[in-house]
Structure 1
Amino acid sequence: MVGSAPPEPTELVRAEDRLSFVYLERCVVHRDSNAITATDDSGTLHIPAAMIGALLLGPGTRITHAAMTLVGACAATVVWVGEGGVRCYAAGRPLARSSRLLEAQARAFANQRDRLSVARRMYELRFPDEDVSNLTMQQLRGREGARVRQIYRDESRRTGVDWVKRDYKPGDLTDSDPVNQALSSANTCLYGVVTAVIHALGMSPGLGFVHVGHDQSFVYDVADLFKASTSIPAAFEVVASGSTDPANDVRRVLRDRLMSGGVMDRCVDVLRELFLAPQELQSVTPILYEDAMSIWSGRADSTLAAGQNHDRGRT
């Protein structure tokens, strides 16, 4: 192989300690040793690849095979950012070598009672003053709609920005008012960050508990937990500042909020708490990053050692 050897899992920066996202546009993305480089008319910027959570590629970017190889080896997520949304086009191998969280997510998803329990806990995280212990999924959706509308109204009063409703056209960012443009752009960045954390922990972005039927359903579930403290206030503040380019300016405001609020760290904690038992939380970090494999025995929660011949017959 030409270049530096791929890093071992224990050498990589944990998801909660990484930069939330790096946004690039109108440049060529390449590799210099273990750094991602972004080159345009003004020069070349070096970015340590192991520190990236999500690499957001905006309009006018080109990325080389060498750069993608490094991004994949460092378990970062690459997201191509369009005008009206985000598509997770590629993702590196997860930081977590264990499938423990993925299996817990799949078990909860496949059981209707457990799935509703996760949805209730997600709602409690967003609105801790609500008692939802006996609410159905339909009742949760109704409560959510009312509370989210109230959040928009509160931000409108706080910032003085006029608010009518959430209104946007997928694929055409400009076909909406400034605050909706800022919201779409900020949410796009937040989705990229959440996608990066989900991939880093080895979980599935498609197994959602509130949103369903989309390969990013779980991303939308988790992102909703943080919008009220990140993308929504950032969007209203940018428009209130008189920005003439809210879709671009909101990224800088959002990045500051994500870093100061420790959102990646909180996102990792939330995912662990949602799917692991309390006694498992103390030991989950070393286990998640342990590069080990077993063979299913055919019985529930029972495994056999891998790398061995289990044929008891004679040859």
Structure 2
Amino acid sequence: MTKKSGAKKPEINELARSRDRISFLYLEHARLNRQDSAIKVVTNEGIVCVPSALISVLMLGPGIDVTHRAMELMGDSGMAVVWVGEHGVRQYAHGRALNHSSKFLVQQAKLVSNRRSRIHVARKMYQLRFPTEDVSKLTMQQLRGKEGARVRRVYLTQSKRTGVPWDHRQYKPDDFNSSSTINKALTVAHQALYGLSYSVIAALGASPGLGFVHTGHDLSFVYDFADLYKADYSIPLAFDMTAEYGDDYIAGRTRRGMRDEFKKGKLIVQMVHDLKYLLDVQDVPEAQTLFLWDDREGLQKFGVQYHDFEEVN
């Protein structure tokens, strides 16, 4: 039998919490292997070892060669892995983060499946964006109108602040370079925000696809959640990067700028708090919690050999 190298698989309570991790790491044109409990990154410039349990989401760009042992470590460490396009602007596939509690998922499914509770959660999302106004009686159409006006004001305010001309949002998924510099920066900044949002959602056990405002896409809730933070993070950062650097390596500069802003603003901490608030989940059970569902007797023990009722009687 071949002996596996590296440390043993960690227990759930040994892993770093989402709020304590580095937000994301983007890699391209590199070979990834495992060295003990770290991801060994080999590039033409040298070798770097990245502690796997301290990364929230790993974005793998073009030219990545990753070994089975490296992927095994990422999964054991609760790291979300996303395969993306050049500059990190498109998502092709993802690997789900480690989680053993369904409390967030069950609550989310319950809330999104009822019209009244779904609107209630959507209003909570908009209330976070309009903290000085009461939106509890507004319809979804009214909320969309208010949000559209708010976002337009945000773009115009950032344009005036930085001196970067602004016309409209333009994004072609298949032709990144055809956009204006500010639109390139916005695309990269938003994608970084989506990656971090997905990581927190998956790490806490919620579903990225069960959206309350967006619907019909496997990342609907990611878009819902990320929209809460664009006005404070991705939009102003994109205008700052464009004003300072123009089109000079704008994708890489913007991505690194977002990483720094996530850390400075402690955004992961805020995201965890907001997700618990939106889904009304505060008391999260310990991992390794598994039961059998019963429509009459409630939750039953797992791992018990049950007998036929008629046979017993």
State the TM-score, normalizing by the size of structure 2: 0.93
Pick from 250, 254, 259: which aligns with 1:250?
254
Q: What is aligned with 1:87?
A: 91
Q: Are 1:85 and 1:171, in contact at CA under 8 Å, matched by a contact in 2? A: no
Distance of 2:163 and 2:232 partners within structure 1: 18
- Structure-2 separation of matches of 1:197 and 1:86: 19
- 2:266 aligned with 1:271, yes or no? no
8 Å contact from structure 1 (residues 74, 92) kept in 2: no
Q: Is the Cα–Cα contact under 8 Å of residues 79 and 86 in structure 1 kept in the other structure?
A: no
Matched with 1:222 is: 225
Shift of 1:91: 2.0
2:108·2:279 contact (CA, 8 Å) conserved in 1?
yes
Per-residue CA shift, 1:78-126, capped at 9, x if unaligned? 112214733262324434x211111000000100100001100001112
The answer as to whether partners of 2:84 and 2:93 remain within 8 angstroms in 1 is no
- How far, CA to CA, are the matches of 1:140 and 1:305 in structure 2? 44
User: Which AA in structure 1 matches 2:4?
Assistant: V
CA contact (8 A) 1:198 1:219 kept: yes
1:1-315, aligned counterparts within 5 Å?
Answer: 2-3=4-5, 4-83=7-86, 85-87=89-91, 89-95=93-99, 97-243=100-246, 244-276=248-280, 281=282, 283-284=283-284, 287=285, 289-299=286-296, 302-311=298-307, 312=309, 313-314=311-312
Q: What SS does the corresponding residue of 2:303 show, helix, strand or coil?
A: coil
Deviation at 1:299, TM superposition (A): 4.0
Moved more, 53-62 or 11-20: 53-62
Question: Amino acid of the residue matched to residue 296 of structure 1?
Answer: W
Gaps of 5+ in 1: none
Give the whole-Å Cα distance in 2 for the aligned partners of 1:209 and 1:253.
30
SS at match of 1:62: strand
Q: Report the CA distance between 1:297 and its aligned residue.
A: 1.0
Separation of aligned partners in 2, 1:195 and 1:236: 24
Q: Is the 8 A contact 2:26 2:61 kept in 1?
A: yes
Quote the Cα distance in structure 1 between the aligned partners of 2:140 and 2:174: 30
Specify the code of the residue in structure 1 equivalent to 2:264: S
Q: CA deviation at 1:2?
A: 1.2
Q: Count residues in correspondence.
A: 306
Instruction: State which drifts further: 77-86 or 209-218.
Output: 77-86
Please report how far the alpha carbon of residue 35 of structure 1 lies from its aligned counterpart in structure 2 after TM superposition.
Answer: 0.3
Q: Secondary structure at the match of 1:39?
A: strand
Identity %: 45
- Per the alignment, do residues 304 and 249 of structure 1 end up closer, same or farther by CA in structure 2, a change over 3 Å counting? same
Partner SS state of residue 25, structure 2 = strand
1:246-271 alpha-carbon deviations (Å, 9 max, x no partner): 11110111111101111111111111
Q: 1:212-269 deviations in whole A, cap 9, x for unaligned?
A: 1110000001011111111111100000102412111101111111011111111111
Q: CA deviation at 1:51?
A: 0.5
TM-score, with normalisation over the residues of structure 1?
0.93
- Kindly report the root-mean-square deviation, in angstroms, between the aligned alpha carbons of the 2 structures: 1.7
CA contact (8 A) 1:234 1:254 kept: yes
Task: Provide the secondary structure at the position in 2 that maps to 1:181.
Answer: helix
Q: Which digits, 9 at most, give the CA deviation of each residue in 1:256-310, with x for residues without a partner?
A: 1101111111111111111126xxx2x43xx1x331211111149x211112233
Q: Could you tell me how far apart the structure 1 residues matched to 2:84 and 2:60 are?
A: 6
SS at match of 2:8: coil
Give the distance between the partners of 1:72 and 1:163, measured in 2 at CA.
42
Does the CA-based 8 Å contact 1:30-1:37 persist in structure 2?
yes
